[in-house]
Structure 1
Amino acid sequence: MKNWLNLTAVAASVALLVGCTNNPYTGEQQAGKVGVYGGLGAVAGAAIGAATSSKKDRTKGALIGAAVGGAAAGGYGAYVDNQEAKLRQTLLNSGVQVQRDGDNLILIMPGNITFASSSANITSSFHPTLDSLVLVFKEFNKNGINIVGHTDNTGSLQLNQNLSNHRALSVANYLTTKGIAGSRISAYGVGPNQPIASNANEAGRAQNRRVEITLLPPQQ
């Protein structure tokens, strides 16, 4: 038991070391997401490999499981890393924020650059940004695309709910007309129900008026 646990730790450590990168903002070395995914996959794979092997072959099973689990998880980690880097490069100075939440990538599009006030028609000046996103979505075509519209709390709840729905659907329709498969896309609005800032002042309301696109892992 002790031997295969030690071997699992070694496999995970190797995966983490392979994924180490320098933080471009601080210059410090850190474990890249490939290494994190690989290390976690190695641990899980080793546990499964050991559990499904005979007592005599438990150490061998742990090593095989660690190798397979680490490679599979690291592979998806690399996919997300590359996609995140491409999105950050593509959206630089566009006003769209890119956030990472575990396996998910979230694109936050402020309402002031995507739609005119009280309108669900995408402004023509935002078309080039969406067109560049389409190219990334086609290159990284494994993800589901979840589009959610948000508003501030000015006006009636029903008005804001309808506006958020229409804005999410407008973005979804734009993507499909540019060749993104509709089967990948879900779109809906939540009105003012998920604020990220206070609605008590204009600065906060401006942050709440947004469309968020979440890129989900395959088969989620």
Structure 2
Amino acid sequence: MAGSVPPSLQLQSLAALGERHPDLVVEVAHPKIIQESGAEILRYADLLVGSPSALADQTTEQQLLEASHRWSHAVFVARGALWGTEDITRLDEAGGLQSLRVTMATHPDGFRLEGPLATAHSTRPRTVLYEGPVRGLCPFAPRNSNTMAAAALAAPSLGFDRVIGVLVADFSLKDMHVVDVELSGPPGPTGRRFAVHTHRENPAEPGAVTGSATVTTFWRSLLGCCQLPSKPGIHLC
């Protein structure tokens, strides 16, 4: 912040947050911020979570919910690169969602992986690094699983344990992030299922974690949550 933010506007310690009387705190740094300080922030302000992968940790999610209701502040979660968020939620609420799968593919340089995924090697042009429940992916790809985490929040009947996340390293995607969302409902009277498949290509600087269009989407989420009522709970925006 030095040189770009006046010292008077810099907060050196979250312990002094209450002295600033904020309306909204925006997190865009790392899920650890939410896990370590999210509940305390809610004591003083609404919170916009830019790293929804933090909520894959059940203790963190519960702490945020309890703090939100205790202090009557809202937890807003940015949808990021997830296309069709409202449609997914409406279908889920109507009992029409049976499966949801989110695949994110980009060049290996665009990943910031931890744990066992950090040592995974992409020896082929296209390699699946992970395929399974989103809850199992978020701790090892905290900055590359936010779209999948948003999907889990958009479909609470499936949640982090039943929404499937797929992380793909693709050497051909040097300047692009590709997100595929596939969902289906239960069989109808004819035995056929309702199904949707969206394919999103998001330009990105080589090696970037976030695509260019996602920045605009986050800005719209920020403006949108400022117009929503501050009511307890976790709300996608």
- Please state which band the TM-score falls in when normalised by the shorter chain: under 0.3
Higher Cα Rg: structure 1 or 2?
Answer: 1
The one of the two structures with greater contact order (alpha-carbon pairs below 8 A, sep at least 6) is 2
Which structure's residues are more often strand, by fraction? 2
Larger helix proportion, structure 1 or 2? 1
